[in-house]
Amino acid sequence: MEYSITIADVQLFPQGFAALMAEPDLLTDEPSLLLMDIGGWTVDLMRTDNALPVAETAHSLELGMIRCIDEIRERVRQETGLSLTDAQIEQMLAGQPCSLADEVRSIVNKQGRLYTERLFSAVMEAGFDLHAMPLVMLGGGACIVNRHVSPKDGLCRVIPLLDDRVNAIGFERTLGRVQGAVSEG
């Protein structure tokens, strides 16, 4: 069976920036923001100035959650001899119950905090001053990193967008606005 498809139009939006459309007041409240999309393999960064993405600031760090989980697994194995699953580690990092000893939970949470410190240090080394600019965290690792943020980090402001659907919601709203502007013009 043969099919023919005609694509009439394509709209592209930066993923993290589109997520901000789920919380558009953030763009009007702050002149500059740093978007941090914490994924499995990478942490993607981009600054916005005056509600516009600054493409030349886009940067990707190879510090995604897979690296964090692998390091935790190895540390727990070294210190306790236990071989944890990704699901167990993720559950404990998120502060959820898990039938493991307090010693293991302590190791996992300590490593989660160390990962968060290393991530913030790498972001600062990449040229983004987290003490001067609000940080918008999103992506699969945002809830884990957000849980390990400490006042001693001295961050300007942390704005967690923890809904797994935030990018989809943002894409939908952005496309609606673009299409509304096209049909009005």
In a domain, 10, yes or no: no
pLDDT for 71: 96
Residue 164: the pLDDT is: 78
Compute how many other C-beta atoms are within 10 angstroms of the C-beta atom of residue 24.
14
Q: Give the CATH number of the domain where residue 44 resides.
A: 3.30.420.40
- Please check whether residue 8 lies inside any domain of the structure: no
Instruction: Note the pTM of the prediction, 2 decimals.
Output: 0.84
Residue by residue, DSSP assigns 6-65 as ---------HHHHHHTTSTHHHHH-SEEEEEEE-SS-EEEEEEETTEEEEEEEEEES--H
Per-block mean pLDDT, blocks of 10 residues, the chain (185 long): 88 73 77 93 93 90 95 97 96 92 96 96 96 93 92 93 81 76 53
Query: What is the model's pLDDT at position 183?
Result: 53
Number of domains the chain is built from: 1
Which token pair is 70? 């692998």
Q: Is 6 among the domain residues? A: no
Which residues span the domain enclosing 171?
15-184
The helix/strand/coil state of 171 is helix
Confidence at residue 34, expressed as pLDDT on a 0 to 100 scale: 95
Whole-number pLDDT of residue 181: 62
Domain-located, residue 4:
no
According to the model, what pLDDT value does residue 138 have?
92
For residue 171, tell me if it sits in a domain: yes
Task: Report DSSP letters for 88-103, one per residue.
Answer: HHHHHHTT---SS-HH
Q: Is residue 78 part of a domain?
A: yes
